[in-house]
Amino acid sequence: MFRPKQQIILLLTFIICSCTNNNTYRYAIKDSPKKLQPHLTKMVEKGIVMHSDSALKSLTTDKELERLGKSEHPIIRASAFREMLKRKSINHFEIIMGHLDDTALVFTDAGEFGIWDRTVTDDILQEAVWKTQELKDKTVEQVLTKHNYLTSAYTILKTLQPQEKYYPFIKDMATRPRRLDPDEEFELGFSDIEYALYGLAMFQKKEDVVFIKNKLLRYVGRLSDISFQLMTEFPDTAYMDVLQAYHRRRFYKFSGNRPHGFSGVVADRAAPEDFIQALVVQESDRSSKLLDTMLNRLASQTCMPDQKNIIDRVVIEIWENPCPAYEGLRKKIQSKAEEILKWQIIIPIDTIPMPVDTTESTIRW
């Protein structure tokens, strides 16, 4: 929890970031058509960018929307951009590329997940659709090289192939502080930096491994599935220090709520399966010893949610990853693995030919 002083400073920071002293955003509500002014006033008072806006859809021309994209109110700008991105009569690519520097913060409606805060540009990128991969690639290049302070610059790294031209930018994104707490000056935003660490690991440069390991160790209690995917896809013996620390401090505190679902409560940032998979692929004597320790300790964790399925997952992961380091461990679990596999139902793949999908693919961020 933030102290009252911290809360005030954070609120002031949010207000300042949401205001701009830029002539680009020079239009007030009174400069809009009179028919729109009452609605725009209510929009600002509400303070949340909604999924869609019926008034903007029915009452505005393309030119009026573009003018609203230069409003002094970030809420109006973001709402206008969302409507622009729905209209075929407007060049979406020009809208995207022309507003990559709108860093004002807005609250957006996230449905059952509540409210998200984003920059106006991040909202544009998350809502946009590109006609071709080439156009999206041009946007990615501009974002990574000129606007890599955006959250979207971090999250896109999970879907990119490593390109050497981006390496210095990704290295900078991973090494610089993302945000600092205004009072205590400690680093915030590790959820963003995780993506940069993943992007850095993709290049598989030995000189980066120690840095990545130390960063993961520093935030070992906050690791998400992104960090475990990093260690799974780009294994290195150095990461055993991270895995051992996580096992000791976090693994047995699983709440029962896995990420990427909606249960009405805050989920863990990573599921036990994420950790297990990252550990097993290390295929070393250290990982073998830790897996053996886990199997012994899990048996006594009777209050741990989903205990039986977690034990079964450890057994199957070991069984399906044979290597010299796991030879002794596999002998110990052989009967258990065979028992689990015996009850697994294998459904034959349907051989009926499926029609070719000819619909145009949607290219999103």
Asked whether the predicted pLDDT for residue 7 surpasses 70, the reply is no
pLDDT band of 107, cuts 50, 70, 90: very high
* Strand boundaries in 98-246, DSSP class E: 105-109, 115-119, 179-180, 187-188
75-84 mean pLDDT = 98
User: Cα–Cα distance between 153 and 147 in angstroms, integer?
Assistant: 7
Contact in structure between 132 and 93 (CB atoms under 8 Å): no
- Give SS3 for 118: strand
Residue 14 β-bridge partners: none
Tell me whether residue 102 is in a domain: yes
The dihedral region occupied by 320, where left means phi > 0, alpha psi between -120 and 50, and beta the remainder, is alpha
Give the DSSP letter of residue 27.
Answer: B
In a domain, 22, yes or no: yes
pLDDT(3) > 50: yes
Domain count, the chain: 1
- Is the pLDDT reported for residue 126 higher than 80? yes
Secondary structure element (H or E) that encloses residue 48, with its range: strand 48-49
**What percent of the chain lies above the pLDDT cut of 70?**
88
pLDDT for res 177: 85
Choose the weakest-confidence range: 110-114, 173-177, 269-273, 312-316. 110-114
Cβ–Cβ < 8 Å for 72, 12: no
Q: What is the pLDDT of residue 2?
A: 47
pLDDT in tens, 12-47: 555 555 554 457 899 999 999 999 999 999 999 999
How confident is the model at residue 335, as a pLDDT?
A: 97
Residue 75 covered by a domain: yes
β pairing state of 187-188 and 179-180: antiparallel
> Does residue 275 form part of some domain?
no
- Give the 3-state secondary structure percentages of the chain, helix then strand then coil, rounded to 5: 60, 5, 35
> What distance lies between CA 175 and its chain's CA centroid?
18
Summarised one tens digit per residue, pLDDT across range 239-279 is 999 999 999 999 999 999 999 876 666 778 999 999 999 99
In a domain, 151, yes or no: no
| Structure tokens that stand for 336 in this block | 């258990």
**Cβ(125)–Cβ(92) below 8 Å:** no
Q: What is the pLDDT of residues 132-147, one digit of tens each?
A: 999 999 999 999 999 9
137 assigned to some structural domain:
no
Q: Is residue 113 part of a domain?
A: yes
- Per DSSP, the three-state class of 146 is helix
The yes-or-no verdict on residue 215 having pLDDT over 90 is yes
Q: In terms of residue numbers, what domain contains 95? A: 1-129
Phi, psi for residue 117 in degrees, rounded to 5? -105, 135
